[in-house]
Chain A
């Protein structure tokens, strides 16, 4: 079946492969190698085997960001899922100008995560932040300093989640909408004729049938949420007291600020392995049924 000569195949493949090999694959191998050492201030490494990994799994410096990352993913993705579904259901109907409205809803996706972080940092500031001002005006807060969104350990992580939710709920909405639009209308018609009310229509018919789309969207979002960096960096830089420290920020900090190359490399390797395994597991369950049909 080989139409193209092997040489041409390799010629097509090599330039791209070279780029990715140098800048994506090599760094991973280097980190894997570095993770087995502990480096002192002069850059001399001492081989410590898997010590760095053991430290990661037993030390707060890794476990706390890990917990935070999991919480971040949990909160952000579930809220995005709920909002995305609600919006998708609302935006499903076609009417004059619906395309415009949908396009407008998509705009947060185009905004740089850093910019989103900046905007929310401005809005959530205690004294001159507009969010607190609005809450005071409505009467929920006593004064604008009642909640220090970004400076309070209890709220910092949630604040970052807020920005993330704002930024990517449109993505969830888009995916679910696409799924809903791909649904067979006759099913719904039959249900309507049978007298099903709105809730039944949504939960018994629409939801189960867009499962593949939901799963894909969820898995993509979970991985992207895990990798968040810009937003947290803009808003809290992981503080206060590590309450909003995610795996991505702690790895970066450990490398650049504390210069613990070996330890940071180990954390990075663990992080990457978890992401890759997660991806492969999801892909397996999504792809196999597809392949069987082909």
Chain B
């Protein structure tokens, strides 16, 4: 019986590994293409492995795009908007959850609906707003929009966490003379650390990977890397090498981060769906 289970597990392990490699094929292809000499990327016939390894594409990438500037913009916009979204979202969600008012239920439903809005549909009114405010092609403009778009998700995540904290905890702190803000920062937040982590990571991903908003709201100053990458789309085949290199550089940090933050990602995605 022991052996049967052992073999059974081994077979499953092998099948899983095969499936995984099969599934990751597109990404592996990207990695392989990035290290091909430029002319080989779009060879006819197409091949998977490079004949020779080369970093031509990376060099070309840096020549064609101000890579560091774009990545810097992406990073700056991502980090700032995440901080704003998480701080304001956590506070607002706390206010809603602890208010106990009937209005709260309405607001919660509203937050849910806001989460569902397709960004591409409100993109143009937002563009008009931002230009009207004089924030076009400014990093601040992008930051503010990212923060607003991702706030509903932060609120939704934190709402769930606050629900699990009995208000007796708030009471106890209050009786001890702590102000509401103090209670929030010193008592509630530490307990909600996983929630904050989850909300932060998702907001980071969403802002980093965003394309449309940046396309609309930035030009030369505040352009992010996704828009830079998209410029290779209409290009000739010679530019596909640098495009692959760029896509690789762009996606790698996110993947590495995700491998470390697995727990929070899983939590964020399954929150509320699974009991216990």
Contact = CB atoms under 8 A, between A and B. Distances in A.
Interface in B1-59: 9-10, 12-13, 15-17, 19-20, 23-24, 26-27, 29-30, 33, 42-48
B94 interface: yes
Given A9-B98, A113-B209, A179-B273, 6 more contacts: A31-B125, A95-B10, A111-B251, A133-B45, A136-B45, A144-B45
Interface of A: 1-5, 8-10, 12-17, 19-20, 22-28, 30-31, 87, 90-91, 93, 95-98, 101, 103-116, 118-123, 125, 127-130, 132-133, 136, 144, 166, 169-171, 174-175, 178-179, 182, 212-213, 216-217, 223, 226-227, 229-230, 233-234, 247-249, 251-252, 255-256, 264, 268, 271-272, 275-276, 279-280, 283
Given A20-B148, A112-B208, A13 B120 contact: no
B68 interface: no
Given A20-B148, A23-B126, A108-B23, A179 B117 contact: no
Given A16-B151, A91-B16, A111-B255, A23 B269 contact: no
Contacts of A132: 46
B44 A3 contact: no
Contacts of B24: 104-105, 107-108
A200 B212 CA distance: 46
What is the interface of chain B mostly: helix, strand, loop, or mixed? helix
Given A212-B273, A227-B118, A275-B116, A112 B250 contact: yes
Contact of B23 (A12, A127, A166, A256): A166
B20 A104 contact: yes
A141 B117 CA distance: 42
What is the interface of chain A mostly: helix, strand, loop, or mixed? helix
A234 B233 contact: yes
Nearest to A163: B26
B27 A234 contact: no
6 contacts: A16-B93, A27-B129, A108-B24, A111-B251, A130-B29, A252-B121
